[in-house]
Structure 1
Amino acid sequence: MQGRLSVWLVKHGLVHRSLGFDYQGIETLQIKPEDWHSIAVILYVYGYNYLCSQCAYDVAPGGLLASVYHLTTIEYGVDQPEEVCIKVFAPRSNPRIPSIFWVWKSANFQERESYDMLGISYENHPRLKRILMPKSWIGWPLRKDYTAPNFYEIQDAH
């Protein structure tokens, strides 16, 4: 079953895959990494002017990595804003997804966290670097195949 946005994207020849609806009735779409930036701009123009959240997860050990975006239309006087969830999957060996920082500025720290924890490289991000882990940290702690080091650096609490 396709939602309103999926039908609109098909009508305009934009490639995507409908993943149905979540438990709250929010439409979920899958977009290819190479199409994501142009579709993000189109969604912004279409009215999705607010990025509620961006997160990422490891689909399966050795499998794909996913970057998830929750978008909302914010309008004055609207009690129930329209929402959509976008999932962009990238291969584990070289996970590269276009940054949408230039469309929604609130993606800045969220994409940096996804990079830091899962190693997804957001292309054209203005300052993609570790945000939680030390610069010298090796690996991506939230990947399901990550092996924790057998040492921990003791740091001062101040």
Structure 2
Amino acid sequence: MTNDSEIVVEEKISGPISDWLSNKGFENIPLKEDHLGIEVIKISPNNLLSIVEALKNDGFNYLQCQGGYDEGPGLNIVCFYNLIEMNELKEDISPREVRLKVFLDRNGDLTVPSLYSLFRGADWQERETFDMYGVNFKGHPHPKRLLMPEDWKGWPLRKDYVQPDFYEMQDAY
């Protein structure tokens, strides 16, 4: 039961980076901050490259991490990107950071643009995400498995993955 005199205030979850992107005309959906208080933003695969390029031009010049995770059987495969502004770091000032997430329908198109053209460090990170989750990175210069043998079937870190009973490495001898 609520009192008529109570004022209900909705929590604003959009942060300065989400607002900046919106003001620049980029579609995005702010999500709840992560456990460290860093802004998390949902974006579409079609906008990924242009948004990351705009953020890089605004000072986010370091791709700290790119990876993926599976929300569960029948749910989305998620690609995430942690971007940091790396300038002269001072002890009392934390660098600006942002987390971007692209949610992909596991039964749909699992393709996102590669960030290799903007960050060379995306090379092996994107290959690992491909190798473990089956996400294809359009425009990646080396789109092949990184950890698993080239003829491996399936994506081992997906929650619906079925472990094969036997795998014979023919090149091992």
Residue 13 (structure 1) aligns with: 25
1:23-60 CA deviation, whole Å, 9 max, x = no partner?
Answer: 11100000100111111110100110001111101112
Residue 54 (structure 1) aligns with: 66
1:1-158 correspondence to structure 2 within 5 Å: 1-78=13-90, 79-93=93-107, 94-153=109-168
Q: Are the counterparts in 1 of residues 61 and 86 from structure 2 also a CA contact under 8 Å?
A: yes
Q: Are the counterparts in 2 of residues 3 and 20 from structure 1 also a CA contact under 8 Å?
A: no
Q: Which runs of 5+ in 2 are unaligned?
A: 1-12
Quick check: which has more Rg, 1 or 2? 2
Q: Which runs of 5+ in 1 are unaligned?
A: none
For the residues of structure 2 that align with 1:156 and 1:139, how far apart are their CA atoms?
A: 20
In the TM superposition, structure 1's runs of 4+ consecutive aligned residues that sit over 6 Å from their partners are: 154-158
For the residues of structure 1 that align with 2:59 and 2:94, how far apart are their CA atoms?
A: 14
For the residues of structure 2 that align with 1:147 and 1:124, how far apart are their CA atoms?
A: 29
Root mean square deviation of aligned Cα: 1.7
Name the aligned partner's letter for residue 43 of structure 2.
I
For these two proteins, the number of residue pairs brought into alignment is 158
Question: TM-score, normalising length from structure 2?
Answer: 0.86
Q: Are the counterparts in 1 of residues 89 and 95 from structure 2 also a CA contact under 8 Å?
A: no
Name the aligned partner's letter for residue 85 of structure 1.
R
Identical pairs, percent: 42
